Amino acid sequence: MLKKPSPFQSELEMLTLESLVPADHLLRKVAAAIDFRFIRDLTAGLYCPDNGRPPIPPEVLFKALFIGYPFGIRFERQLMREIEVNVAYRWFLGMRLTERVCDASTFSQNRRRRFDATEVPQQIFDRIVEEALAAGLVGGEVFYTDSTHLTASANKGRYDNEMVAK
């Protein structure tokens, strides 16, 4: 006899976020190899310690950006949606299942305004690459390039006139 399905989606279950992320998941390997805690110290001077709204923690901001690269998430709005539903991403970011993911525009404005005209993003990138190399996560055997073809926004008539004038 075929039983009628029960509405199990609203049942209470006891489990840990740790138990939901597979042992061989890429983000587990990254978390074991790279210590992202340095980001907080490196960015401390860019945050006000005693007033204002609570910011997106800097290590969460950069770890979220990091997620986009190996998993092919190109847009911040898409990244925020993926973090909402992906348990491994939440685990990597240190977020609870019930914790609210920030709005994509808040994320974007934080990233752009706070680090504008600083070398901090480059310093963070360099440090992560160094740690990934030291851990053997990155090799030099394969080289990828972006061969996107873009239409130039040049005024051909002006260019031709300048060539003739010379």
Return the ∠ at Cα 93 (arms to 92 and 98), rounded to 5°: 110
Share of the chain above pLDDT 70, in %: 85
> How is the chain split among helix, strand and coil, in percent rounded to 5?
55, 0, 45
List Cα–Cα distances, 125 to 38, 77, 81, in angstroms: 12, 22, 24
> Stretch 146-150: mean pLDDT, rounded?
66
Which amino acid belongs to residue 75?
F
- Classified as helix, coil or strand, 30 is helix
Q: Write out the H or E segment, with its range, that includes residue 156.
A: helix 156-165
Question: Model confidence at 152, in pLDDT bands (50, 70, 90)?
Answer: low
Query: Angle at Cα 115 formed by Cα 114 and Cα 120, nearest 5°?
Result: 140
Burial of 79 (C-beta count, 10 Å sphere; 0-12/13-18/19+):
buried
Provide the token pair at 144. 């990828």
The one-letter code for the residue type at 67 is I
Average pLDDT, integer, range 47-57: 82
The tokens for 137 are: 């996560």
Q: Cβ atoms within 10 A of the Cβ of 30, count?
A: 20
If pLDDT is split at 50, 70 and 90, which confidence band does 10 have?
A: confident
Task: State residue 15's pLDDT score.
Answer: 87
* More confident of the two residues 149 and 44: 44
Mean pLDDT of 36-56: 86
Residue 166 has pLDDT above 70, yes or no: no
Listed by start position, the domains of the chain span 15-140
